[in-house]
Amino acid sequence: MNKTMRNIALWLVLFAFLAFFPSLFGVYYTNMVVTFAIFSVYAISLNMLMGYTGLLSFGHSMFFGFGGYGTALALRHIEGIGLIPAIGIGAGAAVLLALILCPLVTRVSGTAFAMLHLAFGQLMYVMALKLYTITGGEDGIGNFPIPGIFTESLKSSPENFYYIAMVILILCVFLMWYFTKTPFGQVQVGIRDNDMRIAYLGYKIPQSKAVIYVAASLFAGVAGSLYGLSHNLVSADGSLGIWMAFSPMIYIMIGGVGYFFGPMLGTAIFQLVDELVLRYTESTELVMGIVLVLVIMFLPGGFMGVFDKLANKLKARTSKREEEKTT
């Protein structure tokens, strides 16, 4: 069996496993997988800015929150709207916000970019609390209708929501992966490493940043929309709070900054440790803080960095053995 056929077989096994997951493991673990997928997309969208383009954002949660609020408001106020159009409205709201901010934020970088987004993120949080008639204030928007695609409502069918969410999220992951592999994806890395050289090659840095910025906001909006749907609630604390601003950075740092699948690995590790810790103590924040400190101190490249080093060592040993055989 050649490498291509082996890869196809592995993907088929993975898809079959995901297809039968709800039947095999029940509602609780099915919801855990949906949560993992949502936060993986959210973290990967930030990694497009942070890991590939070198733009650290402390306010990425505003796109996540706008996605959730856009979908919740659409489902509550637009009679007869379908699920996919509602998710599209949420993602569109996040993109609209990104387009409004683009002229300002894409002309700065480094600390200025990070702090500017922290300020905007907190501004959106306060606005969500104050605009009670639109956002529901502290209570948020809850108990909105969730139409199904093959059923009347997804509230009574968590398995159907699992399948819809997984299809959308797998598509998002594929599109983000494909985006990083395009020539423009290489421009991202160039902006991170040496933006002056990219400018000398004829690329307009602010416009290039704007494209990446809007793309990242789109996927963050989709993740926020699905998060709101999974909880049937969108609130300022739940979608725009300080934890939502910093959690994707934690996932990225645990998994590995600049590695595409690093955020997914970081999200999986975080959720697994969090689930195990909750069985013994409620001090999850303390334990996860210790884990993060240990990762930063001893695994600066994250777990993907460790795997990458091991793979390189294995490859070097294999090539050395082949050379010895030929001689």
Ordered DSSP codes for 136-165: -TTT-EES---B-SSSSBSTT-HHHHHHHH
57 backbone dihedrals φ, ψ, rounded to 5°: -120, 125
- Distance, in Å, from the CA atom of 202 to the CA atom of 184, rounded to the nearest integer, reads 13
Residue 152: the pLDDT is: 59
State which amino acid sits at residue 223: A
Residue 277: the pLDDT is: 83
- Distance, in Å, from the CA atom of 250 to the CA atom of 292, rounded to the nearest integer, reads 7
State which amino acid sits at residue 242: I
Neighbours of 260 (CB within 10 A): 20
Cα angle, residue 159 at apex, residues 221 and 174 outer, rounded to 5°: 40
How would you write the pLDDT of the chain (327 residues) with one tens digit per residue? 566 777 678 878 888 888 888 888 888 888 888 899 899 999 999 988 888 888 888 899 999 999 999 999 999 999 888 888 999 999 999 999 999 999 888 888 888 888 999 999 999 999 999 999 999 988 999 888 888 776 556 665 677 788 888 888 888 888 888 888 888 777 878 888 787 888 887 878 888 888 889 999 999 999 999 999 988 899 999 899 888 888 898 899 898 888 888 889 999 988 888 888 888 777 777 777 888 888 888 888 888 888 888 888 888 887 777 777 776
H-type helices in 151-204, by residue range?
158-181, 183-200
Say which DSSP state 204 is in: -
Q: What angle, 0 to 180 degrees and rounded to 10, lies between the N-to-C axes of helices 262-278 and 302-326?
A: 120
Nearest by Cα to 31 from 157, 140, 220: 157
Neighbours of 170 (CB within 10 A): 15
Residue 206: the pLDDT is: 82
153 backbone dihedrals φ, ψ, rounded to 5°: -145, 145
- Distance, in Å, from the CA atom of 212 to the CA atom of 131, rounded to the nearest integer, reads 30
Residue 2: the pLDDT is: 63
Residue 243: the pLDDT is: 85
Tokens 């421009």 identify what position? 187
Residue 50: the pLDDT is: 86
What are residue 292's DSSP bridge partners?
none
**pTM of this prediction exceeds 0.95:** no
Residues 6+ apart with CB under 8 A from 283: 277
Nearest by Cα to 255 from 307, 180, 213, 293: 307
Q: In what helix (H) or strand (E) does residue 88 lie, and over which residues does it extend?
A: helix 83-105
Residue 65: the pLDDT is: 95
- Radius of gyration, CA atoms only, the chain: 21
Residues 6+ apart with CB under 8 A from 196: none
Helices (H) and strands (E) in the chain, counts: 13, 2
